[in-house]
Structure 1
Amino acid sequence: MIRPLLALTLAMPLASFASTYPLTLTDVDGQKVTLTHEPQRVVLQDGRDILALALLDRQSPFHRVVAWNNMPKKQDIQSWDLLRKTWPEAEKITDMGFSDQGEINLETVLSKKTDLVIAQWRAKPALKQTGVLAALAKLNIPVLFVDYELEPVKNTKKSIELLGKALNKEKEAQSYATFYQERLDAILSAAKSMDKTPTVFIEPIAGNTENCCFTHSHNGWGGLVEAVGGRNIGSELLPGNAGFVSLEKVISMKPDVYIMSGSRRPNVNVLPFGYGVTPQQVSVVFNKLKNRQGLNQIQPIQDGNVYGVYHHFYNHPYNIIGMEIIAKDLYQGKLNNLDPLNDYHHIIRDFTKLPDENIILSYP
């Protein structure tokens, strides 16, 4: 049985931490990164890492950031609105304007006198191919790779601890890492106790394309399905990290559970999870999506084993909430002590200075 761990987490005494520079760290890519001083001018290759900095530089997660690719503004406008209203200086930070695939403006990095680049591990091939990594190495600008998406169970806690050491915020990093590990252990323990491994098809950003069936492989949402003990169909069928699977193939794989992710976007067909939405708004889109042509041939759609989850839990360190939601979907009625919404509010309220506002994370 999963027991409440929040009070225990808050009550645990924390050691006094302080980073000493020069400091050499090993990042998730296995590379040795030496920091000569505490970084004060940071570039974010993927701007969603601002949510990691919110766990560490709690009073002002933007105060070190000199440039970034503002992914929240592009993909998660509700969270961006919260960020900029709480810290207005965010709007003045240089937005390099690139996607999250591994692009950095070297001129911007140089002009901002950058002393650390934080990058997602999945972006390394692109950064290497374009010569960015080699150029930064010649300029003695360190690059620290973190990861919440390719190997979330292995690397999320490690990434937060790594950033905590790099930014001289070990105490804050350790407090969140302790909470994260407690919740993860509880999920994994519960999953191991189940008699059956459920087969899952997960459709990220459901409604973004007209037809079924886009999905993730071992990474992203597929990785979170596997993390909580599910058998992810995309992992067995896709040659890469993401792609389309035919409806006929999904039907033939006989999934036990069908999960759709979404967030509020200009495309009204996407499930509008997140801040500033009502259950009715989610319900209307959810019912339209599950009644798309052909989906009624998939067994979990027929049986009512179809669920929705807020999309933006797969690519930052709050992914533990995504795991909790999926675990409850996979093991209906078996994990009643899991409360993802309460845990999310706990993260926001006790590990960040973000406003603790109403949010819809899942449906039904």
Structure 2
Amino acid sequence: MQGKSIARLVLSVVLSAPLLAHASQYPLTVTDFDGRSVTVEHEPQRIILQDGRDIMAMALLDRDDPFKRLVAWNNLAKKQDVATWEMLKTQWPEATHIMDMGFSDKGNVDLESVLSKQPDLMIAQLRARPALEESGVLQKLTALKIPVVFIDYEVNPAKDTAPSIDLLGKVLNRESNAAAYTAYYRQQLHAIEQKTATINPKPSVFVEALAGNTDSCCFTHGHSGWGGLVEAVGAKNIGSDLLPGASGFVALEKLISVNPDVYIMTGSKRGNSQVLPLGLNVSPDEVNTQAQVLLQRTGVSQIPAIAAKRVYGVYHHFYNHPYNIVGMEYLAKDIYPQAFADLDPDATYHHIIKNFTKLPDTSFVYSWQQGK
């Protein structure tokens, strides 16, 4: 026992020790998560974000002002997570003046308007690569010698998230900031993996992504996204077995017959008031009221996990987010309530915000539990 205590102490000291600054040397050639060799001629100062949620990665790296290098982005928060957008524009008012150019996963964008901003780097999510290629956006940027770096938090979230932040740290000359966060991320992930590896049999889990966003139940993810996060915590994701692709619908009758051990609904506060309104600056009562409405949908109440009171809610955007370790901790606590009784995902989120960003540490409700 004494040896283990010493080992934990040493690990704690290593992870909390200040990291030596290391300046990136340009021109810099890196390999991105599409396996492409990308050369960045100078430290980027005019950045495009294909996926606006990557502003949370910029908050880890350009901590004083994550918007200071942005010239264009896809402002997904404004469309899908209104409380987060309110927080961001209150903290950094200049965010409202940055071009919101779309850049959807289908590659739709007014490229000429974006190019008029003279970007010197685009950061893009790996899942969007096919669309950006088919639309000709990738070829156009390559021809203009504007580097495109693909990162990933969704296709293989547990494996790729920390290395993606490390890659961005190198590209943006913020290696020390990146390394501080990813050391903590890897520590938290290792603790989950170590404990779940010994748990058998593996519980089966169904995630209804954006519960209530459509009239029909039940939309879910396969091996990527929420499915990848479920698998990362050692559980069996039902969507991985039933879907041919990354996401899709599972018939309610089929879902009832496969009888998941745990049922999880994700949500965020957006224009559609039917969705579970999890996120910043919401009240537990507001979330609980809508959760009860969702549980009473026609047929949904027949899912055995509901009768067993094994239904939970989790903030939707953790499925494609640099802080997805918090989402994995919520999953671990929901799926294995006894094994992870002492785990506190709320505290993990607060720790990330306070220690690795200058985002305001505002109130939030990122989870919900049936019967509470």
Query: TM-score normalised to the size of structure 1?
Result: 0.96
How many residue pairs are counted as aligned between the two chains? 364
Residue segments in structure 2 that go unaligned for 5+ positions in a row: none
Query: Partners in 2 of 1:15 and 1:255 — Cα distance?
Result: 47
Corresponding residue of 2:222: 217
Amino acid corresponding to residue 186 of structure 2 in structure 1: Q
Corresponding residue of 2:287: 282
Residue 121 of structure 1 and its aligned partner are, at CA, apart by 0.5
1:340 matched to 2:345: yes
From 141, 147, 151, give the equivalent of 1:146.
Answer: 151
Query: What is the CA deviation profile of residues 275-309 of structure 1, one whole-angstrom value per residue up to 9, with x for unaligned ones?
Result: 12111111111111112111222111110000000
Corresponding residue of 1:361: 366
Residue 66 of structure 1 and its aligned partner are, at CA, apart by 0.4
Instruction: Tell me if structure 2 keeps the 8 A contact 1:325–1:362.
Output: yes
Q: State the SS of the aligned residue for 1:314.
A: helix
Residue 110 of structure 1 and its aligned partner are, at CA, apart by 2.0
1:159 matched to 2:137: no
Residue 102 of structure 1 and its aligned partner are, at CA, apart by 3.2
Corresponding residue of 1:128: 133
Q: 1:183 to 1:99 in 2, by over 3 A?
A: same
1:32 matched to 2:37: yes
Corresponding residue of 2:62: 57
Instruction: Tell me if structure 1 keeps the 8 A contact 2:260–2:305.
Output: yes
Amino acid corresponding to residue 319 of structure 1 in structure 2: N
Corresponding residue of 1:271: 276
Amino acid corresponding to residue 207 of structure 2 in structure 1: I
**% identical equivalent positions:** 57
Alignment RMSD: 1.8
Q: State the SS of the aligned residue for 1:312.
A: helix
From 303, 325, 338, give the equivalent of 2:308.
Answer: 303
Query: Partners in 1 of 2:244 and 2:215 — Cα distance?
Result: 23
Query: Partners in 2 of 1:291 and 1:5 — Cα distance?
Result: 51
Residue 103 of structure 1 and its aligned partner are, at CA, apart by 3.4
Query: Partners in 2 of 1:30 and 1:179 — Cα distance?
Result: 26
Query: Partners in 1 of 2:253 and 2:323 — Cα distance?
Result: 34
1:204 matched to 2:209: yes
Query: Partners in 2 of 1:185 and 1:104 — Cα distance?
Result: 39
Q: State the SS of the aligned residue for 2:319.
A: coil
Residue 100 of structure 1 and its aligned partner are, at CA, apart by 4.0
Query: Partners in 1 of 2:253 and 2:13 — Cα distance?
Result: 48
Residue 4 of structure 1 and its aligned partner are, at CA, apart by 11
Corresponding residue of 1:294: 299
> Superposition pairs for residues 226-237 of structure 1, below 5 Å?
226-237=231-242
Residue 8 of structure 1 and its aligned partner are, at CA, apart by 4.8
Residue 47 of structure 1 and its aligned partner are, at CA, apart by 1.1
Residue 88 of structure 1 and its aligned partner are, at CA, apart by 0.6
Residue 7 of structure 1 and its aligned partner are, at CA, apart by 6.0
1:251 matched to 2:252: no
Query: Partners in 2 of 1:334 and 1:70 — Cα distance?
Result: 38
1:15 matched to 2:20: yes
Q: State the SS of the aligned residue for 1:328.
A: helix
Residue 99 of structure 1 and its aligned partner are, at CA, apart by 3.0
Query: TM-score normalised to the size of structure 2?
Result: 0.94
Corresponding residue of 1:87: 92
Query: Partners in 2 of 1:318 and 1:168 — Cα distance?
Result: 20
Query: Partners in 2 of 1:175 and 1:104 — Cα distance?
Result: 35
Residue 336 of structure 1 and its aligned partner are, at CA, apart by 2.0
Query: What is the CA deviation profile of residues 178-215 of structure 1, one whole-angstrom value per residue up to 9, with x for unaligned ones?
Result: 01000000111111121220101100111111231111
Query: What is the CA deviation profile of residues 220-241 of structure 1, one whole-angstrom value per residue up to 9, with x for unaligned ones?
Result: 1111111111111111111111
Amino acid corresponding to residue 262 of structure 2 in structure 1: V
Residue 79 of structure 1 and its aligned partner are, at CA, apart by 0.5
Corresponding residue of 1:170: 175
